[in-house]
Each structure stands twice: as C-alpha cells, then as structure tokens.
Amino acid sequence: MRRRNLTATNDLTDTCCAPTDPRPLTPDPAQRWQCLSVTVPHEAVEAVANFLVELGSAGVVEGVRDPSQPQAPTTAVQGFFPAEASGPALRDALAHYLNEISELFPRLSRPVPSLVEVPGDAWYERWREHFPPIEVGERFLLLPPWEPLPTYTDRLVIVIDPAMAFGTGHHATTQGCLEALEALCAAHGAPARALDLGTGSGILAIALAKLATQAVWATDIDSVALAEARKNVETNQVTFSICLSDTPIERLPAPFPLIVANLFATTLVALAPTLSTAVEQQGYAILSGIQTDQEADVRAAYPPPSWRLATRLVRDEWVTLVLQQIGAKHSRT
C-alpha cells in the first residue's frame, strides 16, 4: 500500500495502486495487457510502484508475503499497461529510473525489468488473489465484496472494495492502525467522537463506527477517494455514524479525543502543530505510514512533555505510533 499524502491526488491502494486517470481499477477480463515487472528490495518498492503509476500503469501488484514465513529480502512489483502501449519504451523507462535511484537504495543492485503479455482474465484472477479475507487483531475480519459474508463470526466484519482509494487493510500500516484502534477501545472504551484524517477507502472510519464511536469525521482532499469511501460506508451500513468531507482540519469541530492519520511521514511531521491543537487534552493520535528509518523524525515532531508515547507497533519495516496529548492546553481561534 502506497502512503498517502494530504497534498497528493493520486490515491493508492494497499497492494494495487490506482491510476490518476479516473478509470475503474477492476481489470477488464476481455482486454489484453502488458505486465512490466521487476524484483527490488523492500525499501525500494514504494518508489518503483509510484513510478509505474506515473508511467500510466492501470494497477500495481506487489508480491504477497506469507506472514508465517521469514520475510524475503526482495519483492516483485508488477505494473499493467494496455497491449497497444509501447512495451520496450516502458521497459527502458523503468530501467533508466532504476539506475537513477540506485544511489538512494544501495541494495538495489542492477535488476532487469521483464515484459510479458497477459490476457485480462489472467490479470483479473491475479488481482483478486491479492485481496483474500484477512483477520486483523482480535476483532476485525476484512472482506472484499466478492467474498460471501460469514454465517457466524464474533469478529467485526468490514467489507472494502479494492477500487480506486487507498486502504484495503492488507498493508502493515492499515493493520497497525486497526490494531491500535482495537487496543485503545478495549482499554478506554470507544471515544464519542473521532477524526480519520486522509480517510482513503474509509476503512479506519468504518472500523471506528463498528467499535461504537458515535460520530466519526472522515476527511480527504481527493474526490475519488471520498466517492469510494461513501460506497464502502454504505456497504457496511454505518452511514449514521460517519461524516465524509473534504473540509480542512482547521475548520472541523476540534478538539477530538482521537485522531487517526495514516499518511506520509513527512506529512505527519508537517501536521504536528495542527494536531497539537486538534487533539484534546489526554486524547490520542494514532500515526502511521512511518518507515522505521523515519520514526525518529516523526517522534521529534511530537516530543515530550506535550506528547507521551503510549504504544509503538511494528510490522515489517512500518511503525504505528499511539501518542497521548498531555501538554499545556491550546486555545483555538
């Protein structure tokens, strides 16, 4: 799952990246495609996947790791382009880009991109395989819409369509946020109000509503993301609890007892002054989208004694921070 930036308009999903062009991400089984792929170290996956989207890929698929097995040092990243596109030009562009970023990623070595033609139905099946049902924490069961609802489960079921908005629940950052929400609500009860900042698919807002938060503000600057979030909110029958909006955080009815923000680490750093006024005293901020080598910068932006680190969750190379606001009370004008 690519990280989302509040200033970006190309929302991306966990294991599939949405195109900037407002076409449905679900592949057409009748169309033929070119699959451009390369195997890179984990730290380079984000950059390569984003570049494939910029090239015009209708979707990006990453290799899925079995969590019961040791993590391999590399991941295959695949982009899909219409058959009529110039495959050799795309391959050359990717090879040039890999050479450009080799200094940033010392373990990148010299990977060679491959290009093969695949029928639409093959991509369709491969695409669906990347969104199996998944249990997160002790409470949540995440399903794509083509999976049948379980006849009985004691878990909270969230149905998310992996279409054109970030957040299907299969990425470490989303799972870290879900686990943090579950733990906070188990320890302190569900907050009466909460804000999901940069909601994407709406998955975290839906989780809050299912955990019994009565009023959830879910904001995003991307109209496509808000449209997809609205569909998911309706599918999960929590429209009565969630207010979807593109309203800037400065104009929302803050302070909130809880804010969750799964964004770029640089965006989280820039938002620190705003969140300091938007989170109420003794309230919490759940911050994710942070790679391990970025954690120090984020924590420096939310220092003690104003903020207390309540919980730190680590999945693969991603960190989720649960911070409690304990500093002097801020006034809002």
Q: Which two tokens stand for residue 106?
A: 């010392």
The region, left, alpha or beta by phi > 0 then psi within -120 to 50, assigned to residue 118 is beta
pTM for the structure as a whole = 0.75
Q: Would you state the pLDDT for residue 1?
A: 32
Contact 205, 196 (CB under 8 A): yes
Residue ranges of the chain with pLDDT lower than 50? Answer: 1-25, 66-68, 165, 329-333
CATH superfamily label, 134-325: Vaccinia Virus protein VP39 (3.40.50.150)
Domain definitions of the chain by residue range: 32-129, 134-325
* Matching fold, domains 32-129 and 134-325: no
Report the distance separating Cα 246 and Cα 226, nearest Å.
8
Quick one: 28 exposed, middle or buried, by C-beta within 10 A (0-12, 13-18, 19+)?
A: middle
- Is 32-129 a domain of CATH 2.170.16.10? no
- DSSP code at position 271: T
Q: Would you state the pLDDT for residue 26?
A: 53
Q: Would you state the pLDDT for residue 18?
A: 32
Backbone angles phi, psi at 159, to 5 degrees: -100, 120
Q: Would you state the pLDDT for residue 206?
A: 98
Q: Which two tokens stand for residue 15?
A: 């294991």
